[in-house]
């Protein structure tokens, strides 16, 4: 049986749910989650292995509109670097919203040659579904997306459909990791991320 393997970058502005989506897709928490910008500061990789396909998801830091500080500049560079060697990109936005930072992310993706999927997260929070349809039509005109998926990363709504669409895009290749690997990060790094997540929840600061 032939196998598929590829890499997928999850890109978007800060606090849009990128880490939550990756953790959900791989079924394991490897990326810290907190309701604060800059929770993810490095490209963090999570590995999905299922049936005949393995995907390395790259959870990128949120791309900032204002990157005056050295930290924010470094975070932006880290996020953009992840777009260079992937088979697909998932651009995440918040359903029903479009910000200047979303436009900045879209500009960063202008020269990406691989397919770009749009994931409209937090669809469960949209009360008027008819307004969501109008918003989706507007967003569709911003660029040619390989697919648009209104979803909820926390509830798992439509995440399976997104995953199947990504699997179809992966090329035939041998797997790069064992089927029980969930990340290629060190245990020390993952522990540090999860500890920082808890500290941010309790202390409300970096």
- 74-83 confidence digits (pLDDT tens): 444 544 566 8
Q: Are 118 and 163 in contact (CB under 8 A)?
A: no
Q: Which two tokens stand for residue 190?
A: 């993952």
**Model confidence over 102-124: pLDDT tens digits?**
999 999 898 889 999 999 999 99
**Domains and their CATH numbers in the chain:** 4-203 (3.40.50.300)
CA 74 to chain centre: 18
**Dist CA 96 CA 62 (whole Å):** 19
Contact 177, 22 (CB under 8 A): no
Burial class (CB in 10 A: 0-12, 13-18, 19+), 142: middle
Q: How confident is the prediction for the chain on average, in pLDDT? A: 83
CB 43 within 8 A of CB 78: yes
Of residues 106 and 194, more confidence is placed in: 106
145 phi/psi in degrees, rounded to 5: -95, 145
Instruction: Report the percent of the chain where pLDDT is more than 70.
Output: 73
Nearest to 150 by CA among 70, 71, 95, 80: 95
């Amino acid at each position: 049986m032939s196998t598929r393997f590829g890499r997928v970058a999850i890109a978007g502005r800060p606090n849009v749910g990128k880490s939550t989506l990756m953790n959900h897709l791989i079924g394991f928490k490897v990326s810290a989650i907190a309701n604060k910008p800059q929770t993810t500061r490095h490209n963090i990789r999570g590995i999905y292995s299922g049936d005949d396909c393995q995907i390395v998801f790259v959870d990128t830091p949120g791309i900032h509109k204002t990157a005056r500080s050295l930290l924010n500049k470094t975070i932006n560079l880290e996020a953009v670097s992840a777009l260079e060697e992937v088979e697909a990109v998932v651009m995440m936005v918040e359903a029903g919203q479009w910000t200047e930072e979303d436009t900045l992310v879209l500009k960063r993706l202008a020269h990406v040659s691989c397919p770009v999927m749009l994931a409209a997260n937090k669809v469960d929070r949209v009360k008027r579904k008819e307004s969501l349809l109008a918003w989706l039509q507007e967003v569709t005109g911003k660029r040619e997306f390989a697919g648009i998926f209104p979803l909820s990363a926390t509830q798992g709504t439509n995440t399976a459909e997104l995953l199947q669409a990504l699997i179809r895009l992966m090329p035939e290749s041998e797997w790069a990791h064992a089927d029980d690997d969930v990340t290629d990060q060190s245990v020390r790094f993952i522990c540090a991320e999860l500890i920082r997540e808890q500290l941010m929840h309790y202390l409300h600061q970096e």
